[in-house]
Amino acid sequence: MKKSSKWTARVTAMTYLVASLWAPSQATAGTNTSAIVSNTFKGIPSCVSFQVEGVCFFLFCTPFGCDIKTSIRVAHFVPDAVVSTYNEPMLHPWKEVGSVVAKTLNKAGSSMLGVSLSDSSAGSQDEHSPITLFKGGDVVGNPAGLFAQWLSGSSMSDMGSSFSIPSTEELQKFPSEELPNIVNEWSSVPKDFAGGIAEEFRALASSPGKLLSSINNIGSTLQGVQQQLGDLGEVFSGGSLKGIDSSSLMELAQLAQSMSSDSYFCPGGASMFTLHFQSEVDSYFWRSVIPLEMLYPASWLPGRSEIGSGATQTWGGRYPRTGELVQAHPVKASAVLAERMASIVGKSAQPHIYKKIEAANQGGFVYFETGQTHKWQALYPMASTGCVTFGSNDSLSLASWGDGKTSQEDGYAWNLWRRYSCCQRKGVFLFSVP
């Protein structure tokens, strides 16, 4: 416990050092990388929630015999990614990163669908009743998330070396890995409660036929725009994007490594600027062209996977995980869509084109299941130094959650802090206590 207190005190002190080293630039219509990194570190005292959970035991063998070694098991949150929502590419809230990505991949999405995706429907679908919304969105690796890797002893040369883009790798797993889980979900839904329409999709989940056959064609279509995606890799790899001060990142890495020798920290799943999800590349599913999201019972049954709880919750459903949402409040709408994207990138074999966020359970650390726990920090338009979980019940409040925090261009950026539990590997893993 003394170790935990010492670590927390050192990171808190370092937070203020980083904030002064890398002060955020002021932006009237959008944020930038410097501001995102600075605000991320300002959120460390509130968001990391460092805990010592127990002890891990390992069998360590040499030619001279075997021994039992131990390491501390810890848990904490890591700022893995920046999740943004927007109306159109030029109004992306993360200016020198998100705007470049969105503008490039808007063209890629148009090529895939064979139609022009000039924007993301720019807000409401009915100008006289701004309730049903459609937004674009993306999930991009937060460069500040690399701090967890550096703190655990990873090399500074790793910065940006693992840049990657969404592919159909996870989508190809959907029929064999995720679809059986959906069928099992339907088996727990009473037929009378499900209703006639949902019953049709229950049957479709058991025998999807034509819907699943279309998956095989998506890979070849994506290859047709691969050059546009590859160009992004050249832009972002190594932090070479114009306007990003990579030297400041190197100073940050040296600062982390200077305290890594006696610190316990789990490397997260972040890789600087890695594109984990982009709605235009995922147009087939984000725009419901191929409605695989409608196979999930939660897409039909209110209350099954809501953001928040209780009959009076005022947020929205996590399913279907598309860009369409019934929500009058713009900040809540962004928050719900951010939850949908976090749900996609946090799981395997989902019916989307994306790259899963996960820490490799190999090499120097052993990871444990944490139950998909995450929390959020506002980055734009009004940055926060604290983290929250979406879904607070404000139905009886005079003000709605998010009031006073709206964006004129309707673009929002959130920091996704994901929880990790791990211990440093000292040989062949045996067990953990507790």
Per-residue pLDDT of 91-104, as tens digits, reads 899 988 888 888 87
DSSP state of 147: H
Q: What is the pLDDT of residue 120?
A: 52
Task: Name which of 423, 431, 380, 405 is nearest 94 in CA terms.
Answer: 380
Instruction: Write down the mean pLDDT value for the chain.
Output: 79
Q: What is the mean pLDDT of residues 251-266?
A: 61
Q: What is the pLDDT of residue 384?
A: 95
Q: In the chain, pLDDT over 70 holds for what percent of residues?
A: 69
Question: Angle at the Cα of 198 (from 193 to 204), degrees rounded to 5?
Answer: 140
Count CB-CB contacts under 10 A for residue 358.
16
**3-class secondary structure, 92:** coil
The encoded tokens of residue 321 equal 């995980």
Question: For residue 122, is pLDDT > 50?
Answer: no
Task: Name which of 416, 377, 324, 373 is nearest 139 in CA terms.
Answer: 416
Query: What whole-number distance in Å separates Cα of residue 423 and Cα of residue 427?
Result: 11
Q: How many domains does the chain have?
A: 1
Answer whether 153's CB lies under 8 Å from 162's CB: no
Q: What is the pLDDT of residue 232?
A: 67
If one compares 329 and 217, the residue with the highest pLDDT of the two is 329
Burial of 235 (0-12, 13-18, 19+ CB in 10 A): middle
Query: What whole-number distance in Å separates Cα of residue 336 and Cα of residue 318?
Result: 7
Q: What is the pLDDT of residue 2?
A: 52
Q: What is the mean pLDDT of residues 330-336?
A: 95
pLDDT tier at 253, thresholds 50, 70, 90: low
Whether the CA torsion 112, 110, 287, 308 is positive or negative: it is positive
Query: What whole-number distance in Å separates Cα of residue 231 and Cα of residue 95?
Result: 18
DSSP state of 138: E
Q: What is the mean pLDDT of residues 375-392?
A: 94
Q: What is the pLDDT of residue 116?
A: 60
pLDDT by residue (tens digit) across 137-173? 999 999 887 776 666 665 544 444 456 778 889 998 9
Domain that holds residue 366: 2-433
pLDDT tier at 375, thresholds 50, 70, 90: very high
Q: What is the pLDDT of residue 84?
A: 97
Peptide bond into 434 cis (omega under 30): yes
Burial of 251 (0-12, 13-18, 19+ CB in 10 A): middle
pLDDT by residue (tens digit) across 386-417? 999 998 888 777 778 889 899 989 999 999 99
Question: For residue 55, is pLDDT > 80?
Answer: yes
pLDDT by residue (tens digit) across 213-239? 777 778 777 776 666 666 666 666 544
pLDDT tier at 323, thresholds 50, 70, 90: very high
Sorted by sequence, the CB contacts under 8 Å of residue 278 that are 6+ apart come out as 101, 102, 105, 138, 139, 166
Query: What whole-number distance in Å separates Cα of residue 363 and Cα of residue 360?
Result: 8
Q: What is the pLDDT of residue 427?
A: 93
Task: Name which of 134, 140, 135 is nearest 101 in CA terms.
Answer: 140
Count CB-CB contacts under 10 A for residue 342.
26
pLDDT tier at 125, thresholds 50, 70, 90: very low
DSSP state of 124: E
Between strands 316-317 and 365-368, the pairing is unpaired
Q: In the chain, pLDDT over 90 holds for what percent of residues?
A: 37
